[in-house]
Amino acid sequence: MTDTAGNTRAKGRESPMCARYTLTDTGELLLRQFRLAELPPDYRPRYNIAPTQAVTVVLNSRGRRAAQFRWGLIPAWAKDPSIGRKLINARAETVAVKPSFRQSLRRRRCLIPADGFYEWQEVDGRKRPLRIVPTTEQLLAFAGLWDCWRSPDGEEIYTCVIITTDANAALRPIHDRMPAILFPQDYDLWLDTDVQDPEAVLPLLRPCPDDALTAYPVSTLVNSPRYDSPACIEPVEA
């Protein structure tokens, strides 16, 4: 069996979700919706964001701020940073107990803005890429966690992970998982560093309403993270 990027995966193991997404906003909506004073200096629209790349996160550090963290969580206690290549998603059902995530859930929560994400649906024995986007003009906010890993020579590497939950009824024919998407009214609670009881935030990690997202087919260009251009999000005939 293959994962969403076309790689072989072990039998019985779920395919990664979310494993690729977009944030094509020029920055204006991002600033307004997340109440940010400024964006990271290297921010730019992205059309095919992949694991291990730098991604935009929103966190609470004496007020909301945006930063660029590497996608793929490296826990502070990890001896080998390559573990981050495997920890791109965290399951909502177990995030409070898994050693890689439980401390970050208590103390290091973040939002990961997006305006769509990709999933690959099997049709007639072939994988067809779909882009899944909101039905409103708002950006999506994936529930995320972050951590800081220090190398033996003292370098600090900031990394993050996207939390997933069960797919809603609309997306279930495409995949059995989806990113945990937070509503604007939930941002303050999720980012509040004084809230460290997992039971206070776990109820936020639920499937979004069935009518919140829609999907359309896109080019197989997105199969490779080497392509990051507007062509990746252009609709194609099914």
For strand 156-166 and strand 64-71, is the pairing parallel, antiparallel, or unpaired? parallel
What does the alpha-carbon distance between residue 87 and residue 72 come to, in Å, rounded to a whole number?
5
Task: List the catalytic residues.
Answer: 18, 119
> Which amino acid would we find at residue 100?
S
What does the alpha-carbon distance between residue 49 and residue 58 come to, in Å, rounded to a whole number?
16
From residue 82, give the alpha-carbon distance in Å to each of 21, 25, 58, 88, 172.
22, 30, 24, 12, 31
> CB burial class (10 A; 0-12, 13-18, 19+) of residue 147?
buried
What does the alpha-carbon distance between residue 27 and residue 22 come to, in Å, rounded to a whole number?
13
